[in-house]
Structure 1
Amino acid sequence: MDKSDAYILPHNDLPANCALLPPPEIPAGHVAVFDERNAEWSLAEDHRREIVYDIRNGSPVLITQLCTTPKHTVNIAPSGQYDKWNGSAWVKDENAEKIAHLEKAITKRDYLIDMACTMIREWHSELLLGSISDEDKNKLQIWIDYIKALKSMDLTSDSCVIWPMLPDEKSSD
């Protein structure tokens, strides 16, 4: 604001957020902040609208306030879901990836076993009552073999897990 842009009556305060002192030169990445108590300008880092990454979990953090780069963050994005910060760069955490794949495989195996148990429930009751047909007894045995195959799988292997085919898929070949 120039001297001719506004007129302030004598003995009146300045409008809100105004100062008589001009701000200093502002370098890139900074903003001038006026301290009303000390009646002086200072420069503050301005990272607003920047995205930084939390080194503890790799999640993005949007900076919305005037501040220095928040503690525990870096400007470099992790390249993958299983990266961890080693103090100077993101590196792939092979163990975390292996654990995640194992948990996913266990969840899938448990789901397939539950589904198979649901399929055989009625046949199992018929078998106990002695009223199962030979055709259903054969189907029951196929599904029981499938459950045994699922339970005997080594899910800790580093290689890709090869799942046994569903009994219905075998019979359609």
Structure 2
Amino acid sequence: MINYYFDNANELKPYTHQLDANDDTFPPDNALRIAPEFKEGFYPCENNGKWTLVEDHRDKIIYNIKTKEPVKVDYLGKIKKGFTLLEPFEFCKWEQNKWILDELQRNDYIIKQNLSNITMLVSEANNEIEILKDKLELDIATDADKKLLKKWKLYRIQLKSIDANQPNIVLPIKP
């Protein structure tokens, strides 16, 4: 005979190990004489003198549905409320038991990127214009420099005219 032991200090009483038993004795309080069943994704636990299969997600990664923070599962049983096995993606929010695209979040990100990009391009245009103005003031500007100065000024005006609060913008072509 074999005693199949379970951890009676744990609320789910999971199976722990097995040992040979004496034929003429009763199993201890934390053992059954019936072999537990093992099934993928479940773990045997004692319940009222019988083995029951409990969900086993240990070592899987779950995600907080509010913060999207990943957490490694270290317990037996169902996934805790407020968590999911579904991996979040960029610009998503939890809705109706799934991750969905949060267009407002995505658009806010794109708008911030647009503003940053335009600021960088205006700064670049300002630098080019200053150098060309210096050439003009020092009387060393060529006709090509004068034409280029006008193009950079027009480019800067076009950049400043863009409504960067829209997610889909078209940038002018750099001179």
TM-score with structure 1 setting the length: 0.62
What does residue 31 of structure 1 align with?
Answer: 43
Higher strand share: 2
- Separation (CA, whole Å) in 2 of partners of 1:62 and 1:26: 28
Q: Does 1:148 align with 2:160?
A: no
Q: Which amino acid aligns with 2:43?
A: V
Match of 1:90 among 99, 109, 113: 99
Structure 2 segments unaligned to the other structure (5+ residues): 4-15, 20-30
Whether the 8 Å CA contact 2:64–2:82 is kept in 1: the answer is yes
Deviation at 1:31?
3.4
Query: What is the root-mean-square deviation of aligned Cα atoms in Å?
Result: 3.5
Contact 1:57–1:84 under 8 Å retained in 2: no
Separation in structure 1 between the aligned mates of residue 148 and residue 174 of structure 2, nearest angstrom: 12
Map 1:1-173 to 2 at 5 A: 21-22=31-32, 25-26=36-37, 28=39, 29-31=41-43, 45-58=55-68, 61=70, 63-68=72-77, 69-78=79-88, 80-86=89-95, 88-157=97-166, 160-167=168-175
How far apart are residue 62 of structure 1 and its match?
A: 5.5
| Distance in 1 (alpha carbons) for counterparts of 2:42 and 2:165 | 52
Alignment partner of 2:162: what SS? coil
The amino acid across from 2:36 in the alignment is E
Give, as a single letter, the amino acid of the residue that structure 1 aligns with 2:135.
E
Structure 1 Cα separation of the partners of residues 103 and 80 of structure 2: 28
- Identity of counterpart residues, as a percentage? 25
Equivalent position amino acid for 1:107 in 2: S
- Measured after TM superposition, the shift of residue 102 of structure 1 is 0.6
Could you say what secondary structure the match of 1:90 adopts?
A: strand
**Letter of the structure 2 residue corresponding to residue 118 of structure 1:** N
Aligned residues: 145
After TM superposition, the score normalised by the length of structure 2 is 0.62
Q: Distance in 2 between matches of 1:93 and 1:47?
A: 28
- Tell me, yes or no, if the aligned pair for 1:56 and 1:85 is still in contact at 8 Å: yes
Contact kept in structure 1, 2:91 and 2:105, CA below 8 Å? yes
Deviations 1:96-155 (A, max 9, x none): 111011112122222222332333332222234444333312211211110111111012
Structure richer in helix, relative to its length: 1
Aligned amino acid, residue 60 of structure 2:
E
